[in-house]
Amino acid sequence: MIEAAAKKGVKKFILLTSIGVGDSKDAPPQQVYDVLKPVLIEKGKAEERLKVSTLTQAEWQIMKLSHQSLDFCKINDCKFEYHWHS
């Protein structure tokens, strides 16, 4: 999808990932990480793929879902944390 977006001339690519990916791997409790590990690994691959894509850093953004209390069962407490690369 990333490569297809670059070929089509997309001006902004937004990748939604979550805590537990990349440098936030230790943020969720171990039990939560263990359950979500296959998904988090794939999200991490997508982040790395985006970073080395032909899109310039001004053309992409990674948004990580974060949670103040790390209680992943309460969706109403979720917020977005924006990581701009410019």
pLDDT in tens, 22-35: 888 888 889 988 99
- Which whole number is the average pLDDT over 8-21? 86
Rounded to the nearest angstrom, the gap between the alpha carbon of residue 59 and the centroid of all alpha carbons in its chain is 15
Domain count within the chain: 1
CA 79 vs CA 20, 59, 69, 70, 74: distances in Å: 15, 23, 11, 11, 11
Q: Which residues form the domain of 37?
A: 2-84
Mean confidence (pLDDT) of the chain = 77
pLDDT (tens digit per residue) in 3-14: 888 888 888 888
Where does the pLDDT of residue 40 fall: very low under 50, low under 70, confident under 90, or very high at 90 and above?
Answer: very high
DSSP SS3 for 65: strand
Please tell me the distance from the alpha carbon of residue 55 to that of residue 46, in angstroms, as a whole number.
14
